Chain A
Amino acid sequence: MSNIWVVVEPANGALTTTSLEILTHARTLGGTVSAITWGGQGAALAAQAGEYGATTLHDAGDLAGALPGAPVAGAIAALVASAGAPDVILIPTSYDGRDIAGRLSAKLNTGVLTNVTGYSADGTTEHPVFGGTQIVNARFTSGGPGIVVIRAKSFAAESAGGAAASVNSIAAGDLGATNSAKIVASHVEERVGPKLEEAAVVVSGGRGLGEASAYALVEEAAKLLNGASGASRAIVDAGWVPYSKQVGQTGKTVKPTVYIACGISGATQHMVGMKGSKNIVAINKDADAPIFQVADFGIVGDVHKVLPALIEKLKLR
């Protein structure tokens, strides 16, 4: 593999962790790594992109409030037309990453593989299926650069200490109506304690909590353990907690030192997001709940008894 492009996402003046993980892996594929970003802060991001292995950072510029999907895909397609196609284009799994991948695949008329957790130099992808119990290996068969959308935490991010990448401006041509969706305001939820994706301890709650107010127990236990609180989709859909707490296939991927699942059954779509945790503790009143199949330490019991008792013990320490 000689020419690898990686889409790297800017967030608050730095590249996202998933972007750095993918850059790190791209270095091992045996080719030149170029990164593609947007926002017009290329100069500020060039040091980080270079440190993690990119020699060039292409910047699609300030998007003037537009959603990134169409303009960034447009700029990448223009770069393919002018500079030639790379062997592969690696994109982080994220809201905007998936938009860019979908747009780009239609523009270049080339395949896209999503939910990828491994990628080797011969072009083989890995996709966990059925809750991560099986791995599907796939590859592209037609010409054109394949587009590979990689899940968070598939690789570890490690700096290679490289020099700053050289910055190059790229732009899309006329995008017509495709570029007309605009962000008019952003709302950020307040968060206390560590970020869910980065916390060493994650305490998550599910429908077994019974009611929205019981989630306070999960939050308190998380706080006492200096961790973050997470959730199953069941209680996100029910409106008990915001979506940003969801762990799983359509939520966040976490790999903490310990994941404590409280009243969560262990559906395959939930497990995909937490199975990589170093240790898993489960509290569930059903001894046959699937979560116990992956738990290193399981307590068969009522979360309304075990969790308050745990909180009392932690308070005494």
Chain B
Amino acid sequence: MNIVVCVKQIPDPAAPASLDPNTHNLDRTGKLILDEADTYGVEMALQLVDKAGAGEVTVVSMGSAADLSGVRNALAMGAAKAIVVSDDALRGTDALGTAKVLAAAIKRVNPDLVLCATESSDGYTGTVPVQIAELLGLPSVTFAKSVTVDGSSVKIDRQTDGGYDEVTSPLPAVVTVTAGVVEPRYASFKGIMAAKSKPVEQLTAADLGLAAETGAAGAGQEITSVVAAESRAAGEKHTDEGDGADKIVAFLESIKVL
């Protein structure tokens, strides 16, 4: 069973984020890491290939290749190889353009299953995986909280508003996994060393024939302005001296909840 996992390299969410005042793009000049949301897909893929007893995991990523430590991290976890689509011209690409690039890269691998996160931590459009599925003509199941493969089909417990649905789909398919679906492994020292010699194929948008549909010019949308939101002022703050509960009750009375 061959699985592609789409992984995104993102600025460290722990570092303060900002938007470039001219382009309004997220500032990505700093260090990039593997989006934590995608580590669940990598782990799930490794477990499924392990269970199938044959095949490999390929990670596919679009974005800056100046720092590939995030992709190397996925390889260190156990993925066999990576395809990275990187190109200065890709800056400003919208969700659909991203999906076109990823779909074209995935086609080269022709996998049995494509795994993505339900949403990326920095862009969180949550539409890229389904757009990929449509472009590849595949079924998709989003918000998986468990995934099992049974021969040529996949069974998924899909989160719903008040519980979950059991869903089945033939393979190949695109599945998005939620955080916590599996416990991502830490890369071992051996894995980190091995990752250094694993193949990372680098492509440009032009290599995929997508130069015109990507980048800021190919995007069907633009940011017109960024403004400060109406802020909520901090109110009273009291240190509990055993009277915290009384104070809360008094506050709830003052707003007529009690």
Assess whether B245 is in contact with A297, with CB atoms less than 8 Å apart.
no
Assess whether A275 is in contact with B232, with CB atoms less than 8 Å apart.
yes
Cα–Cα distance between A207 and B158 once the two chains are bound (Å): 25
Q: Which of A105, A146, A184, A280 is B166 in contact with, Cβ under 8 Å?
A: A184
Q: A135 with B234: in contact, given A98-B126, A299-B248 (CB under 8 Å)?
A: no
Assess whether B125 is in contact with A114, with CB atoms less than 8 Å apart.
yes
Per DSSP, chain A at the interface is mixed
- Which of A37-45, A46-54, A309-317 interfaces with chain B? A309-317
Assess whether B125 is in contact with A115, with CB atoms less than 8 Å apart.
yes
Assess whether B244 is in contact with A301, with CB atoms less than 8 Å apart.
yes
CB distance from A175 to the nearest CB of B (A): 9
Closest residue of chain A to B158, judged by CB?
A95
Q: Which residues of B contact A137 (CB under 8 A)?
A: 223-227
Assess whether A293 is in contact with B96, with CB atoms less than 8 Å apart.
no
Assess whether B140 is in contact with A99, with CB atoms less than 8 Å apart.
yes
Closest residue of chain B to A291, judged by CB?
B234
Closest residue of chain B to A297, judged by CB?
B251
Q: Which residues of A contact B238 (CB under 8 A)?
A: 298-300
Cα–Cα distance between A8 and B127 once the two chains are bound (Å): 19
In the assembled complex, B131 has its CB within 8 A of some CB on chain A: yes
Assess whether A299 is in contact with B247, with CB atoms less than 8 Å apart.
yes
Assess whether B134 is in contact with A103, with CB atoms less than 8 Å apart.
yes
Interface string of A163-184 (1 = CB under 8 A from B): 0000000000000111111111
Q: Which of B94, B142, B170, B222 is A180 in contact with, Cβ under 8 Å?
A: B170
Q: Which of A98, A279, A283, A298 is B127 in contact with, Cβ under 8 Å?
A: A98
Q: Which residues of B contact A105 (CB under 8 A)?
A: 95-96, 127, 131
CB distance from A100 to the nearest CB of B (A): 9
Cα–Cα distance between A225 and B180 once the two chains are bound (Å): 31
In the assembled complex, B28 has its CB within 8 A of some CB on chain A: no
Interface string of B167-208 (1 = CB under 8 A from A): 111100100001110000000000000000000000000000
In the complex, chain B residues 111-140 whose Cβ is within 8 Å of any chain A Cβ: 118-119, 124-131, 133-135, 137-140
Q: Which residues of A contact B226 (CB under 8 A)?
A: 129, 134-137
CB distance from B187 to the nearest CB of A (A): 21
- Contact count band on B: 35 or more
Cα–Cα distance between A94 and B114 once the two chains are bound (Å): 22
Assess whether B139 is in contact with A140, with CB atoms less than 8 Å apart.
no
Cα–Cα distance between A106 and B217 once the two chains are bound (Å): 18
Q: A141 with B221: in contact, given A98-B126, A102-B129, A243-B159 (CB under 8 Å)?
A: yes
Q: A67 with B227: in contact, given A181-B167, A185-B165 (CB under 8 Å)?
A: no
Q: Which residues of A contact B219 (CB under 8 A)?
A: 111, 141
Interface string of B130-169 (1 = CB under 8 A from A): 1101110111111101000000000000111111111111
In the assembled complex, A156 has its CB within 8 A of some CB on chain B: no
In the assembled complex, A255 has its CB within 8 A of some CB on chain B: no
Q: Which of A134, A275, A299 is B244 in contact with, Cβ under 8 Å?
A: A299
Cα–Cα distance between A244 and B170 once the two chains are bound (Å): 28
Q: A281 with B251: in contact, given A99-B142, A181-B139 (CB under 8 Å)?
A: yes
Assess whether B161 is in contact with A94, with CB atoms less than 8 Å apart.
yes
In the complex, chain A residues 131-145 whose Cβ is within 8 Å of any chain B Cβ: 132-142, 144
Cα–Cα distance between A184 and B222 once the two chains are bound (Å): 41
Q: Which of A142, A237, A281, A295 is B234 in contact with, Cβ under 8 Å?
A: A295
Q: A98 with B142: in contact, given A115-B124, A130-B17, A137-B227 (CB under 8 Å)?
A: yes
CB distance from A225 to the nearest CB of B (A): 7
CB distance from A19 to the nearest CB of B (A): 13
Q: A95 with B240: in contact, given A103-B130, A186-B163 (CB under 8 Å)?
A: no
Q: Which of B118, B140, B162, B166 is A69 in contact with, Cβ under 8 Å?
A: B140
Cα–Cα distance between A182 and B225 once the two chains are bound (Å): 42
Q: Which residues of A contact B15 (CB under 8 A)?
A: none
Most chain B Cβ neighbours within 10 Å, of A239, A301, A307:
A301
The 3 A-B residue pairs whose C-beta atoms are closest, nearest first, are: A301-B240, A102-B130, A111-B220
What are 30 A-B pairs at a CB distance below 8 A? A67-B158, A69-B140, A70-B134, A99-B142, A101-B130, A133-B229, A133-B231, A135-B226, A139-B221, A139-B224, A146-B221, A176-B137, A177-B138, A179-B139, A183-B166, A185-B166, A187-B164, A189-B163, A243-B178, A244-B161, A250-B119, A257-B257, A278-B255, A293-B234, A295-B237, A297-B251, A299-B247, A301-B244, A309-B242, A314-B249
